[in-house]
Structure 1
């Protein structure tokens, strides 16, 4: 492995990574303040974050980054690589429901993240394109949700569509180790876990305008990056015992296979849909009952008036 060094008091990067002047985004106080807080949290947790390939992220101008998704910290680690390029900031596409939480919305809105309404995705695409064409960095998770298997799920073609429409580089990126900290259905390790995390950024892939073809190319590239990251991770921090919950089944772990994870996700989606329908039905019943009470009250009042008049 080439010589490495610590930068920003936390991130381990190749010593050959060029040191660049701070980007104008370094002046965004809310977002930069959030990053300062997160860095402090990481230091308290003892996280060891290695970033390789940050030079593939442009120092200036827009670019779309596509990252795998294995844990709830992924958006932070994915944003760490651009941060090595003069404190550049990343605007993430995130589901609209997150923005509906008042406290979270108060934080995300000034950070200029992009809400995604899955029922009307065109609006999110247009917003992402506007960000990119204005020279910002945007990131998304092509899998659209956390992969319980820690393997790459089926990709949506949004990344290829956005990059082609905005005429910006499409940059593949992978994170490994995030699932050890906090993942869907897993045990949280939010204390001082000293967990190592790897981030690897690949070279931009060529976008042709054929969304399905470009999406296949993106997934293949990210799969190769993921294999490399896993090998580097195991070489430095392994060997690992069999049966670990954060390790894919194909590598001897106890995580569900991709097929099992897909079935679990489908069951979860069905349960959420049923819960939404039950909630809507409950509200409808309550509204009907309320209306019936109003009618009964009016009838009773009219009856009393009639008796009084007679």
Structure 2
């Protein structure tokens, strides 16, 4: 019988031992992933998209959850009920750390496809994992970027959730940056609701530029769905969402300082 995440965390060893174990386990996962994703590619070619996703999704989700468990962390997520059980939606979140991706695919929306920047593809295991459940976008290559966006629209129209970080890059200081132009266009074209998610705490787990993970309190809150058709254009929609998410992030920061 598998242990729950709470049970695993309650028996978590001291941090320095966790970091040693995490390095060991991560190295093992890199080797393991070679065989898993090679098999996934064979399934994709011989049996089709559906069987491919049924095989690879649980493995990616489990790894993303273990990224937190290995450090003795369990994310606190509020208002999960605001995420639809079925149908397509565009999940957007602020971006502070590589652990944001693990939070989305491990806990928030495990069935979502993900849009990540090209640099992410160079990371051991992470890059290979994201390639199985998402796409990389190279903003310096317009043709490639358009091709990735078309694939995203296709998934949304098929009823599959999609996730992206509209800031386009991780925050250096934990503050929200401006949204990239056209980052929300997917929702307009596919005619799907936008589900904003505010993440707080992952910047302390693995800040930008760091390759060492630390234990920290990680929180996320799912905000009310926003419908693009209720806003006159993408620019106004972008300002509205950024303002709502920034206000919620400040509120979450204040909660932390008051405890």
TM-score normalized with structure 2 length: 0.71
- Between the aligned partners of 2:209 and 2:88, the Cα distance in structure 1 is 35
Distance 1:209 1:102, change over 3 A: farther
Alignment of 1:3-152 (within 5 A): 9-10=5-6, 28-83=54-109, 88-99=110-121, 106-111=128-133, 113-118=134-139, 119-120=141-142, 121-152=145-176
- Contact conserved, 2:75 with 2:217, CA < 8 A, in 1? yes
Q: What residue number does 1:301 align with? A: none
- Between the aligned partners of 2:97 and 2:127, the Cα distance in structure 1 is 21
Q: What residue number does 1:226 align with? A: 249
Q: What residue number does 2:17 align with? A: none
Distance 1:8 1:79, change over 3 A: farther
Match for residue 166 of structure 1 among 169, 177, 190: 190
Distance 1:101 1:152, change over 3 A: closer
- Contact conserved, 1:70 with 1:178, CA < 8 A, in 2? yes
Question: 1 or 2 for the larger relative contact order (CA 8 Å, sep ≥6)?
Answer: 2
- Between the aligned partners of 2:219 and 2:61, the Cα distance in structure 1 is 18
1:70-95 Cα distance to aligned partner (Å, 9 max, x none): 11111111334434xxxx42211112
- Give runs of ≥4 in structure 1 deviating > 4 Å: 100-106
SS at match of 2:116: strand
- Contact conserved, 2:196 with 2:225, CA < 8 A, in 1? yes
Q: 1:184 offset after TM fit, Å? A: 1.2
State which structure, 1 or 2, has the greater radius of gyration over its C-alpha atoms: 1
TM-score normalized with structure 1 length: 0.60
Tell me how large the CA RMSD over aligned residues is. 2.7
Structure 1 spans left out of the alignment, 5+ residues: 1-6, 12-23, 239-310
Structure 2 spans left out of the alignment, 5+ residues: 8-49
